Structure 1
Amino acid sequence: MSMIIDHRFDHILDAETRRRAWIDTLSSFFVTQIDPEAIVPTTAFHRYHHMNQLVFGEIDASPQTIERTPALVAAQNIDHVVLRLYTSGRTNISIAGQAHEITQESFVTFDLSQPILSETKGMTGLNLAIPRRLLEGRVGDVSAWHGQILPSASSPITKLLADHFRNVSACLRTATPAQMSHIVPATTALCNALFLSEADSAYNHAAVTNIAIRQFIDENLATIDVEILMARFALSRTPLYKLFEADGGVYAYIRDRRLSRAMQVLSRSSAGRRPMIARLAYECGFENERVFSRAFRRKYGLNPSEINASSLPLTDREHASLLLSWMKDL
């Protein structure tokens, strides 16, 4: 597995093709909009380094609007926190309709289990994606930090962490595995120190429970039902159903995840190694092949038997990017 994902666009000469390519490379995590008149420069890039337990990113972006929509959050079940150091540019971020402007070098916390919208006139920055468990064991839940802006000069810890981010960026491509084994815990410790700098951090139990339920569903698609969820998470029907109102209900959400899993299996298979449709239906939690095929055709407009690796252009939205797979495996 490559340990670096490097999205560059200087080889794409046509401006419209370059704009679409930029949007496509962000589509695993964001719904992206760029004014048709805006030009994505050939110097724009975003790059990611796999650090075993962390993912470090560097970005130079042109004017754009990116959004983690409620639907995208629900579909992905990513339980991670991203710390972004904005090193230049002007950006607005909006949470639940409340907008805030970043006008100086600052850290912003993004809880990927919550929606957010960001609009920039152009920016550069450094990102660190951290599994929530590496933070919560020391500082408690960090959901309340979602969207908070911390100027890098606001405290000794933020100054130290900003310098550390720059140093990590400079050394990652040449660091040995032995050196990396020290860089990762040092980086995690500094991030925990950042969150400890505030005494009060409310525990967002609903958000944490929501993401845990969705992860549990994905892990048990063949057997999951509402009764199991109620027993596993000590919830009655009313609060459980409320968590899935935006998804059309808990039954609709489970069916959609089962269909997505089936699409992933089929679209990764060659014609000679296709799984039996009846067996796939059972493994994805459908009662029989007929019910599965009807639901699959309703969602995708194709029969399961028509999908294989050659169908990839039709199913890009069903595939996590390499970066998304990194995040889920941290």
Structure 2
Amino acid sequence: MSSEERNRDPDVAPAGGDAPGGEVACLRFEPPGDPEALGRAWQDHLAPIFDVSFRPETDLTIPIAMRSYHLGDLLVGDVVAPAHTLVRTREMIGQQGLDHILLQFYRRGQSRVETDHGTGPVNEVQCIVFDLAQPVRIVAGAVDATNVVIPRALLEKQGCHPDALHGRPLDHDGDPFGRLVHNFVANVVACGDLLDRREALAASTAITQLCASWLRGQEEGRPSQNQDVRIRVRRLVEAELGNPKLTPALVAARLGLSRSTLYRLFAPNGIVAYIRDRRLMAAMRMLVRDDASKPLRISQVAFAVGFSDERTFRRAFKRRFGFIPSDASQRLDAHPDPAPGAVLRNWIESL
């Protein structure tokens, strides 16, 4: 079955909907009924990662499809897209604070990738590494590709620092281990509708280990010494989520920032709201995982993510997700914001 056919499969869970029976949640690009609105809909779908523009030769009549599976720790999927230009700017990086690596395994198509370190082509059967904390411009022809989005922290735990690989094409067909990595990921995507969440978490662990081993073998990247300050704040917050004394003052002191700078970075909602949201997203991850030997108590989860009492946690969780913590195992992709791209954005931020 082609990736276009798989993306149109009516049995795939609809975008933003619940996966039935504890299956893995699947998000699909849903083309609008009005052909004139197709381009805008595609731009909105990719907005959490890239600004998208079209070129004179872009043919929007060809099939456009994208499917993403949330495996718990990372996202996998595939995409069939027309010719377009993708841009990730420093402004986007600063606003979003994403600290993730995107691997795109081309099956068909070519592109030109421009980074601060140079410009180069990406050809069929190559994999391109994108560090979402670094700017990039991609001038792409029509492509068919397999995607993986992995939090940088998971790769670093495996001793992999992919910063230096940003924008670099890697041969995933001629290299036997690269071919193994791509085949495994593509097969997980192909059977994504059949996986339960326990199987998805196992697949997620295997994909992380395979990708980290492969990337380590390509080049020993060096951790960036000039990370965007918002990403440095996010890393500190993630490391201290279980600390009930995590406050803006603590973050500012640890990173040598002024309080005004910290608040400006997280405007308009503020750093306090950001910390609480990260605590709640961490709680959601704990609640939807079913690989524990026995279910976690709600109080355990509340204390683990830095809340001082269960009642406050329950109220905050209900406001954030629209349902109580005990119902979380039935929901993975719930998000009150129905705007285009909201679910994909929520998924990436949840990793």
Of 156, 169, 174, the match for 2:176: 156
Corresponding residue number in structure 2 for 1:5: 27
Give the count of matched residue pairs.
Answer: 263
Which one is further off, 195-204 or 79-88? 195-204
Determine which of 143, 164, 175 is the counterpart of 1:144.
164
Aligned with 1:173 (options 193, 201, 215)? 193
Q: Which runs of 4+ in 1 moved over 4 A?
A: 214-220, 259-262
- 1:154 Cα deviation after fit: 4.1
What displacement does 1:35 show?
2.9
Q: How much does 1:89 deviate?
A: 0.7
CA distance in 1, matches of 2:202, 2:251: 40
Deviation of 1:124 after TM superposition, in Å, equals: 0.9
Q: Contact (CA 8 Å) 1:19, 1:39: kept in 2 or not?
A: no
Paired residues of 1:140 and 1:203 also in contact (CA < 8 A): no
1:108 partnered with 2:137 = no
More deviation, 61-70/249-258: 249-258
Report if the CA contact (8 A) 2:71-2:197 is conserved: no
Give runs of aligned pairs for residues 2-41 of structure 1, distance below 5 A. 2=19, 3-9=25-31, 12-14=33-35, 16-35=36-55, 38-41=58-61
Per the TM alignment, residue 74 of structure 1 is displaced from its structure 2 partner at its CA by 0.9
The amino acid of 1:143's aligned partner reads: D
Normalising by structure 1, we get a TM-score of 0.69
Give, in whole Å, the separation in 2 of the partners of 1:76 and 1:52. Answer: 20
Q: Per-residue displacement from partner, 1:214-260 (whole Å, max 9, x unpaired)?
A: 5658989x9636xx555212x478xx99xxxxxxx666434445399
1:253 aligns with 2:277: no
Q: Secondary structure at the match of 2:134?
A: coil
Which of 248, 252, 262 is 1:224 aligned to?
Answer: 248
What is the CA–CA distance in structure 2 between the aligned matches of 1:259 and 1:33, rounded to whole Å? Answer: 32
Secondary structure of 1:205's aligned partner: coil
Amino acid at match of 2:342: S
TM-score normalised by the chain length of structure 2: 0.66
Paired with 1:33 and 1:320, the residues of 2 have a C-alpha distance of 16
- Cα RMSD between the aligned structures? 3.3
Deviation at 1:34, TM superposition (A): 0.9
Check conservation: 2:230, 2:265, Cα contact below 8 A: no
Q: In 2, are the aligned partners of 1:217 and 1:254 still within 8 Å (CA)? A: no
Matched with 1:62 is 82
Q: In 2, are the aligned partners of 1:67 and 1:116 still within 8 Å (CA)?
A: yes
Matching residue's letter, 2:42 = W
The percentage of aligned residue pairs carrying the same residue is 22
Letter in 2 for 1:6: R
Deviation at 1:148, TM superposition (A): 1.6
Unmatched 5+ stretches in structure 1: 242-248, 266-311
Q: CA deviation at 1:20?
A: 1.5
Give 2:349's aligned residue. 328
The alpha-carbon deviation at position 205 of structure 1 amounts to 2.7
Q: Does 1:202 align with 2:214?
A: no
